[in-house]
Amino acid sequence: MRRSPKEADFGIAAFGLQLGDRVPATESVEGDELSRYRLERSGFKRFCEISAEIGTETIGSTAATRCLERAGVDPGEVDYVIVVCTSVPEYLIWDLSAAVAAEAGCHRASTLLLSQGCGSALLGLEQAAGIFATRPEVDKILYVGVDRLSARHQRRSGTATTDSDGAVAMLLTRSSPRLTLVSTAQTTLGRHHELFRLPYCGRIASCLPDDAANSKVDVDEATMAYFGDDPEKLIEWAADCDRAVIDALEKCCAVAEIKAESLDHLLMLHDRRDSMLQLTTSLGVPADRTNIGMAAMLGHFGGSDPLICLAILDGTDKLSEGQQIGMLGLSSGMQCFAAVMAV
């Protein structure tokens, strides 16, 4: 099996998690029958919630601290910090990666912030590989994926996903013998770049009109409107997305010299249960090798879904040497990301 070039050879030395309290998903749609109906169809049972008073940087730095403690590494030894966050940050013109590094005590580390939607965490693995390949002085990268609900801009539930609060941190080190990156791939469907774009609080509409909020936008209705209320166009778009995701994973598998159906684990974006099942069927991967069950009990953490599931699996006996793990991400843009890792 091929692996990434030697210059970019790295693996995951340790994980750290900070997940919110588990809450029944029905609590997020009380009194809203349409959202309740959509929730029932989605398959989500619970979500993770962290108090709105706790900052996103604190959620991320808590996971980071746990990761470093588990690895036995002092924060001052970290050379680089990568932070992935797909949600709306606390402030404009604010670098969350610098904030997480400072709060975690990584004061000598360079930092990078990624926010390319719900595939960002997988895309960031490429960035880590590039840093290792071009910066010989970098030996340890602290990689943090953090997401939390911004109630003014997002609904917790009642759309395609049920959003959760939490973070995963990984310590990436050179020549790690375990959980190494084999390949990555990306497919972009740029013609749909306007889908899922929030209408308010940017340069075009910097202030909210009276009685308006991004959280009041019905994503399903907005999506149908984008396609001119033509269900055939919506179905065609969904099929395009599935093909693009499959194409990205098959590119990864080709580099790894394996077939998608031979993957020991497939970790996907936490989407509607039927969408996840359809994707696994198309790839020929049995559902019991996927994170469909975890998705229902955890909710959606933006770009961090596959990495949170990988961290959870790493704490069990389900990972063994020689296994291959496929990971998939799909985000607005439309961006499709994939990666294959070896245990």
Local mean pLDDT, 10-residue blocks, the chain (343 residues): 63 96 87 82 91 94 98 97 88 92 97 84 88 94 93 76 93 90 88 83 84 81 87 88 90 92 95 90 94 94 93 93 92 86 93
Under DSSP, is residue 160 helix (H, G, I), strand (E, B) or coil?
Answer: coil
Sequence letter at residue 204: I
The span from the CA of 43 to the CA of 299, in Å, is: 10
The span from the CA of 254 to the CA of 241, in Å, is: 20
Helix 231-256 to helix 273-283 angle (10° resolution) is 50
CA 215 to chain centre: 21
Token output for 80: 């680089």
The span from the CA of 340 to the CA of 20, in Å, is: 28
Token output for 322: 């020689």
What are the residue ranges of helices labelled H in 72-107? 96-104
My answer on whether omega of the bond before 341 falls inside 30° of 0, hence cis, is no
* Strands laid side by side in the 140-147 sheet: 110-114, 80-84, 140-147, 166-174, 10-19, 180-188, 335-342, 324-331, 265-267
pLDDT for 58 equals 97
CA 342 to chain centre: 19
Find, among 97, 212, 217, 90, the residue nearest to 149 by Cα: 90
Is the entire prediction scored with pTM above 0.85? yes
pLDDT for 8 equals 66
Q: Which residues pair with 19 in a beta bridge?
A: 166
